[in-house]
Structure 1
Amino acid sequence: MNRSHHFRVDHGAHSIAVNVGPGSAGEIELLVDGEVVAYAKEHAAGTTVLTGTLPSDPGRPFRVMVRQAHIVPSALWCSWEVDGTEQHMPDRAVG
């Protein structure tokens, strides 16, 4: 994996984004409305889980799963789960 990945979804008035750095062990940032709320120094084959809270009253916890294939390291899949529903996050490649 030689490029960065940027996954993003909108949920109501909020933007949830995940930035994954280049390389097979790039860092992962979870952002809500442009602010970093969770960070992983690196990821590897398998699944990395980050958690955050949507800013509402009361706050709504959610989690993001970044999955890297064991066989094809360049293949990343990202989804997020809120209120018990998991949804795919599209990848918007950043080069």
Structure 2
Amino acid sequence: MRRRHHFHIDHAGHSVSATVQTGRTVVVEVLVDGKETGHATTGADRPVTVHTELPTDPPTEATVRVAPGPGIPRCVLEVPGAEPQVMSPRLY
């Protein structure tokens, strides 16, 4: 059965959101300031990494690491020079 999970965090004045659709194939979409900036798929419960950029001057590389399971997925935002930050789950 497919299910959608939403995660969010604010970092350096930018909104970073992730949607994780679980099931046989896991689909991950990452949005920065409301624009899709990354997309990835993986099988079952295998972890996946989505590379993206924050629109700073100059742009800052960022990574969203997703552990889709077992159980409830978990997302972590990683930005160079900062501690990894767990993204908060959001209900929609």
Per the TM superposition, whether the score is higher than 0.5 is: yes
Select between 38-47 and 73-82 the one with higher mean Cα deviation.
38-47
Q: Is the 8 A contact 1:4 1:19 kept in 2?
A: yes
Give the alignment of 1:8-87 within 5 angstroms: 8-69=8-69, 73-84=70-81, 85-87=83-85
Residue 42 of structure 1 and its aligned partner are, at CA, apart by 4.0
Greater relative contact order (CA < 8 Å, ≥ 6 in sequence): 1
Q: Secondary structure at the match of 2:88?
A: coil
What is the rounded CA distance, in whole Å, between the counterparts of 2:24 and 2:66 in structure 1? 13
Seq. identity, %: 35
Stretches of structure 2 that go unaligned for 5 or more consecutive residues are none
In structure 2, relative to structure 1, the CA distance for the partners of 1:46 and 1:78 (3 Å cut) is same
TM-score, normalised to structure 1, is: 0.82
In structure 2, relative to structure 1, the CA distance for the partners of 1:63 and 1:40 (3 Å cut) is same
What is the rounded CA distance, in whole Å, between the counterparts of 2:43 and 2:33 in structure 1? 23
Deviations 1:36-69 (A, max 9, x none): 1111134531310001111011111010000033
What is the rounded CA distance, in whole Å, between the counterparts of 2:6 and 2:43 in structure 1? 15
| RMSD (Å) for aligned C-alpha atoms | 1.8
Which amino acid in the other structure matches residue 78 of structure 2?
E
Stretches of structure 1 that go unaligned for 5 or more consecutive residues are none
What is the rounded CA distance, in whole Å, between the counterparts of 1:16 and 1:34 in structure 2? 8
**Structure 1: 4+ residue segments shifted above 3 A:** none
Is 1:91 the counterpart of 2:89? The answer is yes
Give the length in aligned residue pairs: 91
Q: Secondary structure at the match of 1:57?
A: coil
